Chain A
Amino acid sequence: MILNSKVPEGLLEKKWDNHRFNLKLVNPANKRKFEILVVGTGLAGSSAAASLAELGYSVKVFCLQDSPRRAHSIAAQGGINAAKNYPNDGDSIYRLFYDTIKGGDFRAREANVYRLAQVSNAIIDHCVALGVPFAREYGGTLANRSFGGAQVSRTFYARGQTGQQLLLGAYSALMRQVASGRAQVFPRREMLDVVVVDGVARGITVRNLVTGALESHVGHAVLLCTGGYGNVFYLSTNAANSNVTATWRAHKRGAFFANPCFTQIHPTCIPMSGDYQSKLTLMSESLRNDGRVWVPKKKGDLRPPNQIPGEERDYYLERKYPSFGNLVPRDVASRAAKQMIDEGLGVGPTGLAVYLDFADAVKRLGVDVIREKYANLFDMYYHITGEDPYKVPMRIYPAVHYTMGGLWVDYNLMTTIPGLFCLGEANFSDHGANRLGASALMQGLADGYFIVPYTLGDYLAGSNWGKVEVAHPAFKESEKAVSEQTKKILSIRGKRTPTDFHKQLGLLLWNQCGMSRSEKGLKEVLTKIPQIREEFWKNVTITGEEGEFNQVLEKAGRVADYLEFAELLVRDALHRKESCGGHFREEYQTPDNEAKRDDANFCYVAAWEFKGLGKEPLLHKEPLQFESVHLTQRNYQ
């Protein structure tokens, strides 16, 4: 199969405009007849569902939580980028585009990223119109702050709760459509399969998490907005329900998976405290606006941080990267922390932490200003650790946070299964090998509010629609496959819990396929994963039954998918013999330990085709052409 990215011809600046003009339109009177299935209610799903219903489509929305408002996007803290240039500090659409391409270490599609930057301003306008209470200046205008990888202030925020406010905005728009009857919400549902009829996505099979019953839903198109797969590592900053199941099952039905090894490790998270740890909590990147990162210069310096004088501290980010300082991109900051810790300079009871210190900012700005900016983050830190960051520096450590990889989509956000679209973190499209802070919220909302409403119409208008009903054999076959897997898992009655397997897999990946990766380690993991998977299918234990609310069963299904998906992730990491962004291969680094790309051989998107479990997947390459930017070695010094 030839991968066709469908990137329009013409000048970069004109591509999206031209494309929109060329897209076919659906007659307004006919829109109501099209049933659109939206899976996921995060920023991508809610914004898409609301916008499509506004246009007149009949929309059905599905989510795992008891309300669409609780999707994982709610937890995003720091902010959302846009090229408004309100601070008059030199920003522009081109600069936002350039920073994002460079931040992604030149592994993203130019045309997609440019479009993202183009629609960024409209997102802010729309969110403000919806009543999102963004932070403001005294004159009543919108306030901005800085995020990593940029030298301009372009991040809009609502305290440390930006994701919450943006999601509640999109959710409110969705609920308005529910009231109008154009959208219908199905909460506590888990999508377990995509139903493909004659090569086209025509529906989904979902499990009602309350009754355990399987349901079939027919549609003219399916939009997967199911978020990222960071939880494959077990410990991450993601919500407990975030998972790979929806995208993995779509992959098994024919959707290619792109760049699964591009995972992001966030430098500032609260360190782990014990083996009961169930998640890691992010401390937003925005804190690096005012916090300074340091470790003691001397190994094994056990003095409390406040007793270590300035000259005995190594503010290593400021030392190594004088022009970006504490605001280097995430991959760079995480690796630098790891280096310090590997050298034995880590702090705190486990030695697996560095300091993020606000003492200077409190002195400079006063405690009230700091409180206004970060109170909820400081409170969160205090609740978890029992330490007061207004008085002692935070201890932070990198943690898995975001996944740049995802289902391969073309410029229209359609996967390799016609009619199956993929939006938000679940797709691979805009962040290359590393995502810049405050750009995920921007991308999720761009996809949902401003891209898919156009591109979906083109797909719908351009197809011949035969009638398909739930009685179609493809739906029956899908239900049967799902139900058989459930029965099989339930029948094992072994000795280990699903969580136990998940932890084992996660630790393995974190150690060998986390912040740094080597051929030897990756090969080892590749032999171990099938062994764990085999044991899982012999020795997992699940209580309860199929036809009831059963959280252990839900968990087991997701772990089963991680155990398959992890192999692809590692295989992708092994095949990519270069370092770029979040993918750091020990064999490929510059003399000062920075990531060393290999543009001659790896300037492509790796899109994997499923060939059967235990069989080698087939690699398809989408070459990345850079017409507008010049490929350079990233330099944040």
Chain B
Amino acid sequence: MNLILKVWRQKNASSEGRLVTYEAKGVSPDMSFLEMLDVVNEGLILKGEDPIAFDHDCREGICGMCSLMIKGCAHGPERGMASCELHMRSFKDGDTLTIEPFRAKLFPVVKDLVVDRSAFDRIMAAGGYVSVNTGSAVEANTLLVPKEKSELAMDAAACIGCGACVAACPNASAMLFVSAKISQYALLPQGDPERRKRVLSMRRAMDEEGFGNCSNEAECEAVCPKEIKLSNIARLNWEFLRASLLSKE
């Protein structure tokens, strides 16, 4: 099939960007979306033109590198998939596809479709961990975790930190991302000792970075490649409230 691509091109963080039109010809439905871009890029290089820069690594939906807005939707039109998991069989011959970087003030463009998501690392450094040094752990099975709890914790822990939630949110909120980490630890006994401190500190870091607040638009849940649930945000709010009240004691 043949497609028209309208791709965001921007030389670097400080220059202006614009949409440039390219043709993608002879695309196979079995190609992944990124393989389609590879083919376009090989053509551009041979013409001496700068290929389209985009982030990718694992190409199987787990590393969180890929970060494309496809047809205005973070990670494209299919549910529960990262950009790299999308295959061309999801599109039709003759389609026009707009391809942009994840759009959010706090994810500045590095080049073309590549953005800077280091704000997420800073939020994690604010408390997204259990403070235990190597060597000091107790025997693993002395810590019993009910299966249902551990499954729920795993649902939240599956977050790949791609930032689609922020890109999709009208408020550019990072609540889904933060709530996934908070939930994982809130559900597990290991997270308990630092429970209050963690939620207060990660929330504060999120606000200080300038991420917006949640107004229940649920756009984040709709685009999340790992289908992280909105109920995690409810848990975050509850944990935050509880910690705020208790910290006044």
Contacts and interface: CB of A to CB of B under 8 A. Distances in A.
Binding between chains A and B: yes
Interface of A: 47, 50-51, 54, 65-72, 74-75, 84, 86, 122, 124-126, 128-131, 133-142, 158-159, 161, 163-165, 168, 171-173, 175-176, 178-179, 185, 187, 210, 239-241, 273-274, 276-279, 281, 379-380, 383-384, 386, 449-450, 453, 495, 497, 499-500, 541-544, 548-549, 551-552
The 8 A-B pairs of least Cβ separation, nearest first, read A140-B144, A129-B137, A172-B129, A125-B137, A133-B154, A51-B134, A128-B140, A175-B125
B191 A131 contact: yes
A91 to B, nearest CB: 14
A448 to B, nearest CB: 9
Nearest to B114: A549
A499 B190 contact: no
Contact of A130 (B32, B39, B117, B130): B130
Contact of B46 (A126, A136, A541): A541
Nearest to B111: A549
Contact of B62 (A161, A210, A278, A384): A161
Given A74-B62, A124-B140, A175-B129, A276 B190 contact: no
B64 A138 contact: no
A66 B117 contact: yes
Given A129-B138, A276-B39, A541-B45, 8 more contacts: A66-B117, A75-B60, A136-B145, A142-B140, A176-B131, A278-B32, A386-B87, A543-B49
B215 interface: no
Given A67-B118, A128-B140, A383-B85, A549 B128 contact: no
Most buried by B among A133, A165, A276, A552: A133
A240 B54 CA distance: 12
A179 B198 CA distance: 13
A526 B135 CA distance: 48
B129 A383 contact: no
B34 interface: yes
A161 B158 contact: yes
B93 interface: no
A128 B87 contact: no
A125 B150 contact: no
Contact of B12 (A158, A175, A549): A549
A539 to B, nearest CB: 12
A552 B111 CA distance: 13
B56 interface: yes
A255 to B, nearest CB: 26
Contacts of B214: none
Contacts of A69: 64, 121, 124, 161
Interface in B34-70: 34-36, 38-39, 42, 44-46, 48-51, 53, 55-65
A142 B141 CA distance: 7
Given A141-B144, A240-B56, A383-B81, A551 B130 contact: no
A441 to B, nearest CB: 14
Contacts of A281: 59-60
Contacts of A176: 125, 129, 131
Interface residues of B, number: 79
Contact of B45 (A66, A72, A133, A497): A497
A274 B45 contact: no
B137 A122 contact: yes
B154 A159 contact: yes
A47 B134 CA distance: 9
A172 B128 contact: yes
B112 to A, nearest CB: 9
13 contacts: A51-B134, A67-B64, A67-B117, A74-B63, A125-B137, A129-B190, A130-B132, A138-B147, A140-B146, A165-B157, A187-B121, A273-B30, A281-B60
B151 to A, nearest CB: 8
A163 B188 CA distance: 19
B194 to A, nearest CB: 10
Contacts of A66: 55, 65, 116-118
Contacts of A499: 38, 42
Contacts of B240: none
Nearest to B29: A386
A187 B55 CA distance: 13
Interface in B140-176: 140-141, 143-147, 150, 153-154, 157-158, 160-161
Contacts of A163: 62
Most buried by A among B49, B130, B139: B130
B89 A386 contact: yes
A254 B65 CA distance: 34
Contacts of A449: 134
B28 interface: yes
A551 B55 CA distance: 10
B35 A276 contact: yes
A75 to B, nearest CB: 5
A210 B115 CA distance: 11
A126 B137 contact: yes
A168 B134 contact: no
B110 interface: yes
A133 B114 contact: no
B130 A129 contact: yes
A65 B57 contact: yes
B198 to A, nearest CB: 11
A135 B150 contact: yes
